[in-house]
């Protein structure tokens, strides 16, 4: 087992996914409105939250993640979702044929990678024309100074954190790949600080630093983006 945050917290993350599953499934169904014939791919799938939410409404889901521990936990908790297949892979360098899928998504992934544009590009390549891309992630404040402070807290909590994107950057990232935004929504998520630090296995000096850097508000803004890959204009 690797000694990283994901190996240490896989069980905790799986428990959170399972506890939120019913509400998250309905939120995904309502926002995406998937089709029964859709073949979907979930990048940075973790323990399977997005894959399991899509599962009842699509033909099948390929759940891709780099962490063997998260994949193992997802398989353990998702045995009832027979149309979900977990595989180990890198969302930034996806080994699938271009135009294979009808729907590609990632949930709470982009802030963990150095090159989020590569993940979005992978999703755009993976889908057919007429296919859709779903991105769900915490959004940075529009004020760049507040964004820097929030990132400092998140990195103290979890070294795997890279950078939260503000809404304007998220839209630019998606549209730069020839995708047309069709739907967005924003939700506020209440987070108890102690619980949030526990979820990342944040302890000792790192925990004390994170507590000192914690933002005054316990509310996080989460953005949902749905975009379509359309044929180029003639």
Residue with tokens 């379509």, as numbered in its chain: 228
- Is residue 208 scored above 90 in pLDDT? yes
**Secondary structure (3-state) at 35:** coil
Biggest CA-to-CA distance, the chain = 60
Q: Which residues of 79-97 are buried (b: 16+ CB within 10 A; e: fewer)?
A: eebeebebeebbbbebeee
Give all domains of the chain, ordered by start, each with its CATH number. Answer: 5-140+161-190+220-229 (3.40.50.150)
Half-sphere exposure of 121 (CA within 13 A, CB side): 9
Q: What is the mean pLDDT of residues 107-125?
A: 95
Encoding tokens for residue 206?
């790192």
Q: What is the mean pLDDT of residues 144-153?
A: 97
Q: What is the mean pLDDT of residues 192-219?
A: 95
Q: Residues 170, 173, 174, 180: what is their CA dihedral angle, to the nearest 10 degrees?
A: 100
**Secondary structure (3-state) at 231:** coil
How high is the pLDDT of residue 7? 82
Q: Bridge-partner residues for 65, per DSSP?
A: 88
Say if residues 38 and 59 touch (Cβ distance below 8 Å): yes
- Is residue 2 scored above 50 in pLDDT? no
pLDDT band at 1 (very low <50, low <70, confident <90, very high): very low
Q: What is the mean pLDDT of residues 128-152?
A: 97
> 86-102, pLDDT tens digit by residue?
999 988 888 788 889 99
- Is residue 81 scored above 80 in pLDDT? yes
How high is the pLDDT of residue 8? 87
**C-alpha pair distances (Å), 22 with each of 17, 49, 107, 123:** 9, 10, 16, 26
Q: What is the mean pLDDT of residues 34-45?
A: 97
pTM (predicted TM-score): 0.94
- Is residue 19 scored above 60 in pLDDT? yes
Across the chain, what does the average pLDDT equal? Answer: 94
Q: What is the mean pLDDT of residues 165-176?
A: 96
């Amino acid at each position: 087992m690797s000694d990283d945050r994901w190996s240490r917290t896989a069980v905790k993350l799986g428990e959170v996914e399972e506890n939120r599953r019913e509400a998250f499934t309905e939120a995904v169904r309502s926002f995406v409105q998937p089709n029964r014939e859709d073949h979907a791919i979930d990048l940075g799938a973790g323990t399977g939250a997005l894959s399991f939410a899509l599962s009842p409404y699509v033909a099948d889901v390929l759940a891709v993640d780099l962490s063997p521990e998260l994949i193992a936990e997802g398989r353990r908790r998702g045995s009832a979702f027979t149309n979900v297949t977990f595989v180990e892979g890198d969302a930034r360098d996806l080994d699938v044929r271009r135009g294979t899928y009808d729907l590609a998504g990632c949930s709470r992934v982009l802030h963990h990678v150095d090159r989020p544009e590569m993940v979005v590009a992978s999703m755009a390549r993976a889908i057919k024309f007429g296919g859709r891309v779903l991105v769900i992630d915490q959004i940075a404040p529009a004020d760049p100074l507040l964004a820097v402070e929030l990132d400092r807290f998140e990195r103290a909590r979890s070294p795997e954190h890279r950078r939260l994107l503000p809404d304007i950057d998220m839209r630019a990232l998606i549209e730069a790949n020839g995708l047309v935004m069709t739907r967005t929504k924003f939700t506020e998520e209440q987070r108890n600080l102690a619980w949030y630090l526990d979820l990342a296995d944040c302890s000792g000096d790192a925990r004390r630093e994170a507590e000192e850097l914690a933002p005054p508000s316990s509310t996080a803004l989460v953005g949902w983006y749905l975009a379509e890959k359309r044929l180029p204009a003639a």
